[in-house]
């Protein structure tokens, strides 16, 4: 019996806490590995100077907008394949995997070309000038060429995660970060290629991983292989991808565009504040990774149990995931919010005293309130797993476009908090979004896209 089959049995009928942790721990490690790509760049670029840090912090959201939109397709694939796996419909699961592969590859190629062409205009619009402008354009134009490789890896992760196997995606990404950690210092410091070296290292590290992912995906001995021979678009399956994936894609990319505008607002306070914002966000991303992993695990478990028509078990997986995520982040966040600890962590990435002071303050505030992220991501998981991504799209977009910009305006305009208005707007908007999504859950909105038979089940 394969690992994926064993995990599916655990998800559908085994110990729920064990099922959650079996999926979440490898996802957490995988997410941590992914973050190390940026953290490695941040560490080595921090050795060069504040402008390099400011440049990468300014333009990273451009890359994230494109990646997050495309990720909506693979997230939809993972949810829908999981539902077919739970329903024991292997044929539909395989057909869905083929459709996700074709849609993702087309998206990666088209967006890669368009982004390369419009990057200079976008970076100028953000307010970058001089060396920050030049370095920002260079970085984005290089890293955007890795989109086909990145999406090959993401499809591999989606297909395996839908089956309950989160270990193989973790192993694949571990290979990528090892390569990146070797190439970064070689290209940045050894060859003195600066920010271009960081971008090249990130891109080249994905090439062997994408090659191995492709071999596995097209291996016809797998339970859900990619087979494009005689492929034809199925309108029904494509419609399901759009109905589930488009809201996720719009929500994620809209949120990232909001981050782009946030960086534009932060740059007003100077390159030091921009560098501090970038460092704080990256470290905070690591802190909240366990909650994100538990949210992804909940999504897969809910998806499989919805497919198996076991609604009570789906709800049980969500409640246990939420408790674990919020509890862990409450304790970890309190520890990391201590000034001596946050300052020590931030000092790894910068030697600029002003940047260290600002980033440490930002990190302390975010860490103390990060438990709200545990509630948010796991609640998002039950909505996504049930196929209701419209609600999560609306809340995700509102989190930045309404809550964050509104609180930023209030803190800046009426309390004159300068760069700290940014720090507090982040935690305030995250907390408001978590509360609203939780209210929607208790109102039963997560069940809207379920069949009448499932909606009738009491949980």
Q: What is the pLDDT of residue 238?
A: 87
Buried b / exposed e over 123-139, threshold 16 CB at 10 Å, is: beebebeeebbbbbbbb
pTM for this model (two decimals): 0.80
CA separation for the pair 246, 252 (Å, rounded): 10
Q: Are 72 and 250 in contact (CB under 8 A)?
A: yes
Q: Tens digits of per-residue pLDDT, 333-342?
A: 999 889 899 8
Q: What is the mean pLDDT of the chain?
A: 87
Q: What is the pLDDT of residue 38?
A: 66
Q: What is the pLDDT of residue 70?
A: 81
CA separation for the pair 325, 427 (Å, rounded): 17
Question: What's the average model confidence in pLDDT over 97-110?
Answer: 93
Q: Tens digits of per-residue pLDDT, 5-33?
A: 787 888 999 899 999 999 999 988 887 87
Q: What is the pLDDT of residue 1?
A: 53
Q: Tens digits of per-residue pLDDT, 70-98?
A: 888 888 888 899 999 999 899 999 999 99
Nearest CA among 176, 226, 224, 230 for reference residue 204: 176
Give burial (CB, 10 Å; 0-12/13-18/19+) of 168. Answer: buried
Q: What is the pLDDT of residue 459?
A: 65
Please give the structure tokens belonging to residue 107: 């998206």
Residue 273 or residue 441, greater confidence: 441
Question: What's the average model confidence in pLDDT over 189-217?
Answer: 92
């Amino acid at each position: 019996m394969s690992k994926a089959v064993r995990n599916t049995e655990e998800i559908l009928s085994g110990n729920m806490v064990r099922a959650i942790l079996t999926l979440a721990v490898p996802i957490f490690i995988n997410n941590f590995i992914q973050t190390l790509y940026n953290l490695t760049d941040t560490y080595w670029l921090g050795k060069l100077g504040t402008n390099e840090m400011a440049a990468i912090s300014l333009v990273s959201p451009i890359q994230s907008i494109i990646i997050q939109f495309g990720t909506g397709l693979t997230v939809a694939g993972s949810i829908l394949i999981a539902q077919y796996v739970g329903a024991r419909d292997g044929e539909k699961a395989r057909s869905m995997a083929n459709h996700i592969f074709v849609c993702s590859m087309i998206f990666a190629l088209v967006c890669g070309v368009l982004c390369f062409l419009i990057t200079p205009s976008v970076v100028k619009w953000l307010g970058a000038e001089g060396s920050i402008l030049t370095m920002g354009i260079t970085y984005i134009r290089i890293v955007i060429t890795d989109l086909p490789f990145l999406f090959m890896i993401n499809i591999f992760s989606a297909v395996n995660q839908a089956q309950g196997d989160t270990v193989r995606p973790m192993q694949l990404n571990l290979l990528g970060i090892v390569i990146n950690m070797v190439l970064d210092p070689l290209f940045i410091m050894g060859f003195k290629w600066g920010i271009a070296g960081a971008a090249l290292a990130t891109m080249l590290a994905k090439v062997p991983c994408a090659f191995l992912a492709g071999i596995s995906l097209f291996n016809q001995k797998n339970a859900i292989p990619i087979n494009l021979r005689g492929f034809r678009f199925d309108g029904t399956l494509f419609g399901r991808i759009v109905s589930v994936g488009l809201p996720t894609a719009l929500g994620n990319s809209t949120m990232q565009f909001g981050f782009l505008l946030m960086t534009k607002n932060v740059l007003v306070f100077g390159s030091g504040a921009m560098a501090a914002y970038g460092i704080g966000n990256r470290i905070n991303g690591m802190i909240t990774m366990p909650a994100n992993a538990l949210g992804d695990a909940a999504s897969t478990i809910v998806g499989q149990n919805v497919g198996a028509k076991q609604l009570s078990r789906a709800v049980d997986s969500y409640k246990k995931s939420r408790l674990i995520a919020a509890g862990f982040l409450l304790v970890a966040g309190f520890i990391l919010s201590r000034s001596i600890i946050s300052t020590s962590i931030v000092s790894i990435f910068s030697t600029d005293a002003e940047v260290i002071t600002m980033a440490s303050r930002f990190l302390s505030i975010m860490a103390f309130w990060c438990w709200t992220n545990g509630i948010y991501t796991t609640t998002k998981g039950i909505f996504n797993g049930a196929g209701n991504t419209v609600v999560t799209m609306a809340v995700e977009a509102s989190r930045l476009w309404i809550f964050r910009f509104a609180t930023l305006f209030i803190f800046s305009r009426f309390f004159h908090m300068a760069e700290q208005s940014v720090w507090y707007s982040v935690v305030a908007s995250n907390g408001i979004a978590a509360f609203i999504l939780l209210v929607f859950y208790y109102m039963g909105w997560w069940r809207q896209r379920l069949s009448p038979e499932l909606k009738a089940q009491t949980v």
